[in-house]
Amino acid sequence: MLILCSGSKTRAELLKKAGIKFVQKSCKFDEESVKSNDPYEFVSIASLGKFRECVKCFENENIIAADTVVTDGKQILRKAKNEEDAKRILLAQSGKEIKIVTSMWVKYERRIFGRTDETVYEFEEFDKKDLDNYLKSGEWRGKAGACMVEGFCKKYIKNVQGYETTAMGLCVEELLKIIGEQNAH
């Protein structure tokens, strides 16, 4: 049994689909305290900060903590603060190549594992009307880069390198290697 130290519905769904037994609990960590403009450094520091807080809260448990960011190569595209911010962030991805970077820390059977993975997407230009409908839907809320590769962005994918689960916030394929396939299902 794992404790997923995240409130993310998407991460929980990924674990369910993989047949990994878990409970979802969180501890407080202020991501805004991370002062880095480098997406790999940012996501590593944020996920490690979450992990350390959760180890304090659930010290004798198996734990997983993760963080995800989107980058267009120039800037980190974080979670949108409002609809206008979401539009700005999504337009920075339209017709471009982006990287979605996820870092996870796992404490399993008293051993600690950390890793950072990326998935690279090349998108077609987003249709303006479709983008407006997505913005109005609010589905972008709480998503790194307001990006949903399993939803809105899916039809615009021109090319992809890497795991979709990484882009969705948790590289399940690598997690299964850490905890062992026999512990799923």
Strand partners, 98: 121
Q: Which domain holds residue 118?
A: 2-183
Give the chain's residues under pLDDT 70. 181-185
pTM, to two decimals? 0.89
Domain harbouring 85, CATH code: 3.90.950.10
Confidence at residue 111, expressed as pLDDT on a 0 to 100 scale: 94
Q: What digits encode the pLDDT tens for the residues 73-118?
A: 889 998 999 999 999 999 999 999 999 999 999 999 999 999 999 9
Distance CA 134, CA 31 (A): 26
Cα–Cα nearest to 102, from 184, 51, 43: 43
Average pLDDT, the chain: 93
Length of the chain: 185
Residue type, 140: W
How many domains would you assign to the chain?
1
Return the DSSP state at 127: P
Backbone angles phi, psi at 116, to 5 degrees: -130, 130
Element at 179 (helix H, strand E): helix 172-179
- Catalytic positions are 67
Q: What is the 3-state secondary structure (H, E, C) of 53-90?
A: HHHHHCCCCEEEEEEEEEECCCCEECCCCCHHHHHHHH
